[in-house]
Structure 1
Amino acid sequence: MEFFMSEVIEVLERTPRVLEQYLVGLSEDWLQANEGEGTWTPSQVIGHLIDGEKYNWIPRLEIILSETDERRFPVFDRFSHLQQYHEWSIEKKIREFESLREENIGKLKLLITDKSQLEITGVHPEYGEVRARELISTWTVHDLTHIAQITRVLAKRYDQAVGPWKGYLGILKN
């Protein structure tokens, strides 16, 4: 599948609005649901997305596109959000995420001005050499993964309540 920046931006732009429509106004029982010990609530997922906007996607793209020879990414702490944001309302988290995302899409458009830049590489601490287009594609699929995760967590709250229909509800079959 070929990479198209316009398609990436379509998803990246929509994610904050999707999450706002999905989560704002839900009771705390929904927002604090999880899949068991060591799993994240929908509210915690939004904190993780905030951290990604701050410390992951654009900072790593800037490293890739830098003029230096050292293009090694710092480690991204995927769990730092668990120590932050817990006192924030879901509205505040989503507003912060939306603001950061809007800023980062603007930066993305300024940083990638030529298709050849998508093939420039950086060094991921775990995966080694990665291309700019792979990083940007991952950013997009990361959004979709967490939307799916939130949907699954919400559905599992009613795992037992659906009774015999559970057999028809694929989201509950994990």
Structure 2
Amino acid sequence: MNFNLNEAIEILEQTPKTLESYLANLSQGWMTSSEGEGTWNPVEVIDHLIECEKHNFIPRLQFILEAGEGEAFPPFDRFAHLNQSEERTLGERFSEFQTLRTENIAKLKELVDSDEVLEKTGSHPALGTVKVRELVSTWAVHDLTHISQITRVLAERYRKDVGPWVEFLGVLK
């Protein structure tokens, strides 16, 4: 196994800065592009990541440490961010994401203070028994998944414009 808590934290710490650097100065056309109906644009991905900071990984970690496998932790609504009507700037979103992530990494470091904690188990409502180590690994890979998703979405915007070069552009396959 490759999991290392400090390495996972490296990814978690970099994600807000990476996304802000990548997206902050892009035009509206880039920020509202998607891969089609039922997919998310970059702003919606940021909103989803903010929801995850509030209601997913740290709350589930705390639930595992308190309840163990005795009770399944509450399900997470992966689409809750789509029901928000609050208008915020991209800068406000990045600021909120960075603040929440910084707080959550501090909580993670406080809660997972030994290798033994990483092996504690809880009950996922759909997946069954899961370990803290698996939850934290998933959190880091979840970030990487959404960075990849945003890259795909941006590339998709120019799919028709690249003409025959599409065959050489793996992101468009």
TM-score of the two chains, using structure 2 as the length reference: 0.96
**8 Å Cα contact 2:16-2:94 kept in structure 1:** yes
For 1:48 and 1:70, the matched residues in 2 are separated by: 29
Per-residue CA deviation, residues 79-119 of structure 1 (Å, 9 max, x unaligned), is: 00001266222111111111000000000000011101111
Structure 1 stretches of at least 4 aligned residues deviating more than 2 Å after TM superposition? 67-71
Amino acid at match of 1:52: C
User: 1:74 is paired with a residue of what secondary structure?
Assistant: coil
1:70 Cα deviation (Å)? 3.3
1:3 Cα deviation (Å)? 1.7
**8 Å Cα contact 1:73-1:123 kept in structure 2:** yes
For 2:67 and 2:45, the matched residues in 1 are separated by: 34
151-160 or 81-90, which deviates more: 81-90
**8 Å Cα contact 1:63-1:73 kept in structure 2:** yes
For 2:86 and 2:161, the matched residues in 1 are separated by: 29
For 2:113 and 2:153, the matched residues in 1 are separated by: 39
Residue 14 of structure 1: aligned partner = 14
RMSD: 1.3
Per-residue CA deviation, residues 41-60 of structure 1 (Å, 9 max, x unaligned), is: 00000000000000000000
Percent identity, aligned pairs only?
Answer: 55
Tell me the number of residue pairs that the alignment of Structure 1 and Structure 2 aligns. 173
Residue 96 of structure 1: aligned partner = 96
1:67 Cα deviation (Å)? 5.8
Amino acid at match of 2:144: L
Change (3 A) 1:117 1:30: same
Change (3 A) 1:128 1:67: closer
Residue 107 of structure 2: aligned partner = 107
143-152 or 22-31, which deviates more: 22-31
For 2:135 and 2:33, the matched residues in 1 are separated by: 30
TM-score of the two chains, using structure 1 as the length reference: 0.96
Residue 135 of structure 2: aligned partner = 135
Amino acid at match of 1:28: Q
Amino acid at match of 1:102: T
User: 2:123 is paired with a residue of what secondary structure?
Assistant: strand
User: 1:123 is paired with a residue of what secondary structure?
Assistant: strand
124-133 or 1-10, which deviates more: 1-10
**8 Å Cα contact 2:67-2:122 kept in structure 1:** no
For 1:150 and 1:68, the matched residues in 2 are separated by: 35
User: 2:45 is paired with a residue of what secondary structure?
Assistant: helix
